[in-house]
Structure formats: C-alpha cells, structure tokens
Amino acid sequence: MTLAQKIDLSTTTDITPEGSDYETVRRVIEMLTLDYQAQPSLETLAARLGLSPSQLQKTFTRWAGLSPKGFLQAVTLDHAKRLLGREGMPLLETSIELGLSGPGRLHDLFVTHEAMSPGEWKAKGAGLTIRYGFHPSPFGQALVMATERGLAGLAFADPGGEAACFDDMAKRWPQAHYVADQAATAPYASRIFDPQKWSGEQPLRVVLIGTDFQVRVWESLLEIPLGKAVTYSDIAARIGQPTASRAVGAAVGRNPISFVVPCHRALGKSGALTGYHWGLTRKRAMLGWEAGKICG
C-alpha cells in the first residue's frame, strides 16, 4: 500500500474562480499542440469540445485574460524566444536587471525563503511534520505541503492522479510525518493563485529542502521575474558552474515547489519548452496564464 492510499486525498471547495476552467484549457492546449500547423479556428476548437465559440472565448478570457488566439501566441516558440531576449548580456542578468526594477516584477509573487541544513536533508524528513491538502487551482488540483517554517511543496494532478501525485512528493522526504490539514494549507493556496494577494510587504515564506546544489539552482529560479525566461545554461553560469547544464536541468526537474519556484520559466536554448515534471501541457498553461496577467 502506498502512502497516498493510507491518507485523505479529498479536496476543498473551489477557492479560485477559474479553477474549474482548467480542464477545458488543458484540452484546448493539447489540441493546439497536436494540430499546431493547422492552426484550428475558435469554431473548430469549440465544436470539438461541445461548446459554442462564445463559451470557449469567455472561458479563456476568464481563466487567463486572453482569447484562445492570444493564448496560442503566448506559448509559441517565437514568444519563448522573446522571453529569453537577445540583449547580448547573460540572460539571467538581463532578467534580473530589467525585471526587478521594471513593471514585470509588479505582477510577480513575492517570496522569502530559507534552506534546510544538509543534515536535515540527509535525514530524509525525519522529525519533520508536513501538513498537506489538495486544493483547486488554475492548473488543476494543487497539492500544497507546508511545515512550520513555510511552504515546502507544491505539485499538480489531473483528475484521478491525486494519489500518484502525493506519492511522488512523499518519496522525496520518506521519513517525514504527514498530516492531512487543509485548513493549514488553504491560506497558502489562496495566496499563491490569487495575484491580488501578491504583496512585497507580506512575502510568501517557503523552505527549500534539497541538496546544496539543488538549493542553489532553485534560488536562481526564484530570481526569474514574471514575463521573463532563462535557459539551463544561463542558470549554470549564474551559480558558477557553467559546464553543469545537465545537472541544472535535473535539479530544475526535482524542484518541489512548482510555480512558486518558477521552474516553468526555464527553457531550452532554442526557446523550446523541453520538459516539465507535471507535464508540458501544464507548463504551457502556466506561461500563458502569466502572459495574461501581464497583459491585464
């Protein structure tokens, strides 16, 4: 029996107005990805989903602040290349210099973080109590995990995948004590997915649980502002290990606090989305959703 089979995986009531829209968005993204060259029209997409064009238009506008066409433009390779920029200076430096002082950062989720000690990491969670709960989010069911020191985990699941999602996260800290406590995790979910609650005056507290190398990579990810992107090689250079792009990619893939630690903003050199632990469809959704927040 898995850990997930032993514990409560029920979800709370919907805390985000657009939470129920993600299934429609997910299906549209998958259709656009599979049929990208054909550029299916709004009418074609709506017919495949059994919706009217106006219903589909309203769903996307409500969810991301963008039309389906605008969303498609926000997740294209050309847009990814624009996110990466071509200013001639190291891209992460560009992101930090322009983003922290520019309008992009005004839309961002402010985070303050600390890292657990190497000894605590090696203990695999022993002596650590992690409270968890599933909550609806703009990107499907979100598994929120928190310790007394702050947010420690954020993962995502499609319907029916909650148990596997929990197992995936729990295996990272197998000796920890897990407590189902949606009342404790609901405030985190509410703040993370509601841009109206993103405030530099009250930053979200997170705790990074990983190896020293992983934590350095995750800290670099935290420096990427909304509306910007970097490559794995940029991150490797930033942490002083320019030949470690592959190891950086592995560390990015092990990021336990998805979206908050924005590993979805790490792209391949060409601007390709490459991989994402919780699925490329969700990565596209996150980038498009963020584009809508900036445009809005």
- Dihedral of the alpha carbons of 189, 195, 196, 201, in degrees to the nearest 10: 90
Secondary structure class of 296 (helix, strand, coil): coil
d(C-alpha 146, C-alpha 159), whole Å = 22
d(C-alpha 184, C-alpha 145), whole Å = 9
d(C-alpha 291, C-alpha 63), whole Å = 12
- Dihedral of the alpha carbons of 289, 239, 90, 221, in degrees to the nearest 10: 10
One-letter identity of residue 103: P
Of the listed 28, 29, 207, 263, which one is catalytic? 263
d(C-alpha 131, C-alpha 147), whole Å = 6
- Dig out the tokens for 152 from the structure: 């420690």
Beta-strand ranges (E) seen in 69-181 are 111-115, 129-137, 140-147, 150-157, 177-180
Measured CA angle at 51 (ends 49, 57), to 5 deg: 105
d(C-alpha 67, C-alpha 59), whole Å = 9
- Dig out the tokens for 285 from the structure: 């959704």
Residue 197 CB contacts under 8 Å (≥ 6 apart), including other chains: 190, 191
Surface-to-core class of residue 183, CB atoms within 10 Å of its CB (0-12 exposed, 13-18 middle, 19+ buried) = exposed
Whether residue 263 lies in the annotated active site: yes
Pick the closest to residue 188 from 109, 100, 126 (CA basis): 109
Active site residues: 263
